[in-house]
Amino acid sequence: MANLKAIRKRITSVKSTQKITRAMKMVAGARLNRAQQRIVAMRPYAQKVSDILTEVVRAIGAGGLEASGLEEVHPLLARRPEKKVLFLVITSDRGLCGAFNTNINKRAEALWKAKVAEGVDVQFATIGRRGRDYFRRRSAPSFQEFEGVWEDLNLGQARRIARALLQPFLSGEVDAIYLIYNEFKSAMTQQVISRPLLPLADMGAAAAGENGAAGQGGAEHEGEPSPEYIFEPSKASIFERLVPMYIEITLLRALYDSVASELGARMTAMDSATKNAADMISRLTLSYNRQRQAVITTELIEIIAGSEALQT
């Protein structure tokens, strides 16, 4: 009987857990719809800003940045040999979302080791407690830990992060900044992205990757002629406005993608947990019924044996 009582308690416990995972799945699904709408609404704008700035950089001509003088126009276009780099790793504050955080942390750690093997000094800026704790345990060089980003996510947060990242690049403390986060593909699929954020001279390849990833995000079709731009009033004023806007929008888009990816991963993980709980309840119920039947059978045998003993 003691074993039967333990199984009953186990079944009750698993049923309670199943209710929690089912509720978490429903909450994540409801929030995911809003997050998807936010991404869909922002992607065309973000893609157009990226396309325009890419074309402006491309319009510099075959002479390069130095020949055009645009390096003097905006220091964020300056390309330096990579001796010191900064990784901005975007993770979540909470767990229970499958391999969402693990995939990002492992990719960042692999890139860290690769850069160190090349003789490059690496520093980390983290968004989210999961990434912060992961690299703290590995004694990774920390540049800054951005707190409270997910509590009130908006353009102001992206602007705050952008200003904090631009300062070491402009002062020459770091030669490049890389962005590592999960890009949202669907509720079932999230892809870890590692792309250069600065210098902007590297943005051509990154923009090409975004075009392929965004799908209907507004990229130009292959074979179509590139638009021609007229700079009014001047290239300098255009860059002074476009460059900070591009950095902020790129960061905000990555943050939105990360939120949607986290919700999709949590919904998928909670769905799997709910199904696993149902399977476990089924197995425990079967085991309970078998043991209960065995106890009843044993009692019947004892009763019959006792009755026959009294008759003899």
Phi-psi category of residue 198: left, alpha or beta, with phi > 0 → left and psi -120 to 50 → alpha: beta
- Integer Cα distance of 125 and 178 in angstroms: 10
- Integer Cα distance of 70 and 24 in angstroms: 51
- Integer Cα distance of 100 and 84 in angstroms: 28
Q: Which residues contact 49 (CB under 8 A, 6 or more apart)?
A: 242, 245, 246, 249
- Integer Cα distance of 108 and 87 in angstroms: 8
**HEC-encoded secondary structure of 70-94:** HHHHCHHHCCCCCCEEEEEEECCCC
Residue appearing with tokens 């002479």? 63
Catalytic annotation on 97?
yes
Side-chain-facing half-sphere of 91: CA atoms under 13 Å: 30
Active-site position among 65, 97, 197, 203: 97
Q: Which residues contact 269 (CB under 8 A, 6 or more apart)?
A: 96, 97, 98
Active site residues: 97
